[in-house]
Structure 1
Amino acid sequence: MSCTWRVLLSLCLLSMACPEPLQQQGETFATSLRFSRKILTRVRNLLFQYKEQLMGDSQFEDRLTMLRSLPVLGVGYSQWRSMEDKDRLTAAAQDLKVFWDHLDVKRIQLKEESKRQSSTVVTAMQNIQMDLRDLIAQVHSQLQAMNATVPAPREEEIPSSLMVPTLEWHSKLMGYIILRDLDRYMNKVVRDYILLKVKYRE
């Protein structure tokens, strides 16, 4: 076999062997992107419903009050863009689990509180938890496909202000903050998957 034929054969084999894993990974990122957008829509709908029914005003806004046990959202564009893929996914897996834990506390509180509380809010919150659980599983699978270590959940302590709120208004405000920050975080997850989808389909 001539040298030219060897080169051509090698290129053919390479073109058949290499793109497939990347294409498959790109497809999983595209699936997670669609799912993340669905979750974001659900979170926004619930946030509107929560503000309307529990805060008494669908236009309620509080951009200053923070809950320190929730993931930090302030990542600059250059830092975000330069992150390695596995680090991006690892952070998402850990942070989404933190949001799941906080939602679980708030959902149980709402369920146990007065029957005046809307059961539709509790049901919507539970549905979002199920979606987050499935998205976390997708992230874990993607990390395994990269031969990266699946992260252990962060040992985040739920603050006593959320576990045992002293005032009814404060309890409602904590729920609002969780949903508000989850809305923002899901925006970041969507951007992550847009980037990964494009990168792995190039």
Structure 2
Amino acid sequence: MTVWLQTLVLLCCILNCVESSAPSPDRQRNKYNYSFLLTKSTRTRVQQLQKIYKEQQLGNQHFEDRSRQLKDLPSLSTNFNSWLKLTDWERLHAALRDMQTYWNMLEWKRKQLEEEQMAGVGDLPQSIKHIQLDLRDLMSQASNQMSYMQSSRMRPTSPPVRAPLNPESRSKTVWDSRVEGYIILRDLDLYLTKLARDFLLLAAKTPMTQH
């Protein structure tokens, strides 16, 4: 078990002990803080995979191309004032929708790599799967937060918007296909920075119980 995973497991146990006796606002704050830490660790995993992916698939772990985009991925541009004005519900709903999109895009790319397994893609599909599991955990936490808001009558429930499993973009060459994987990981890295900021803001906005 890696050090970061041991740390997260220990933190989770501590938070569970705190949550068992803490009032609801404190539990929510702890959950947001845990989501923030998990987002950070997931981003570290993505960054590590980026280097391996670029070296194995693109022949250069320092490869960079900011000009290429995939239209199926969520927009990373943010208007700061609009971002601050989002309600907690809107923030979580957007996070759930965007994480589902990235999960689907990773699934699409992972299946492509599995089909190329005999071509020497190594452990890339399994590494992508680990990131998907982290995203699934984060999506579950966001969904639970939304359920809490519903039970507290803060906002009626609504289903998340799910992206199609098969993206519209289609690779024209083997190189294009490989660059698509780079773009997904590149944008996911940037998105997780944005998501961590969201969880920090949600934790800061949750009032602490006065003892």
TM-score bucket (shorter structure): 0.7 to 0.9
Q: How many residues align?
A: 182
Task: Mark the CA change 1:114 to 1:128 in structure 2 (over 3 Å): closer, same or farther.
Answer: closer
Identity of aligned residues (%): 37
Aligned with residue 159 of structure 1, among 142, 154, 167 = 167
User: Partners in 2 of 1:44 and 1:53 — Cα distance?
Assistant: 14
Structure 2 residue 176 is matched with structure 1 residue 173: no
In the alignment, is the contact (CA less than 8 A) between 1:93 and 1:151 conserved in 2? no
Cα deviation digits, residues 96-115 of structure 1 (max 9, x gap): 00111110010011011152
Equivalent residue, structure 1, for 2:137: 134
3-state SS of the aligned residue for 1:161? coil
RMSD: 1.7
Structure 2 residue 87 is matched with structure 1 residue 87: no
3-state SS of the aligned residue for 1:135? helix
1:1-202 correspondence to structure 2 within 5 Å: 20-147=23-150, 148=155, 149-156=157-164, 158-162=166-170, 165-202=171-208
In the alignment, is the contact (CA less than 8 A) between 2:54 and 2:182 conserved in 1? yes
Of structures 1 and 2, the larger Rg is shown by 1
Q: Alpha-carbon deviation of 1:160?
A: 4.3
In the alignment, is the contact (CA less than 8 A) between 1:111 and 1:119 conserved in 2? no
Task: Mark the CA change 1:54 to 1:28 in structure 2 (over 3 Å): closer, same or farther.
Answer: same
3-state SS of the aligned residue for 1:146? helix
Q: Alpha-carbon deviation of 1:20?
A: 2.2
The gaps in structure 1 that reach 5 residues or longer are 1-18
TM-score, structure 1 normalization = 0.84
Give the 4+ runs in structure 1 shifted more than 4 A.
Answer: none
Cα deviation digits, residues 138-192 of structure 1 (max 9, x gap): 1000011111425333344733434xx2311010011011111111111111000
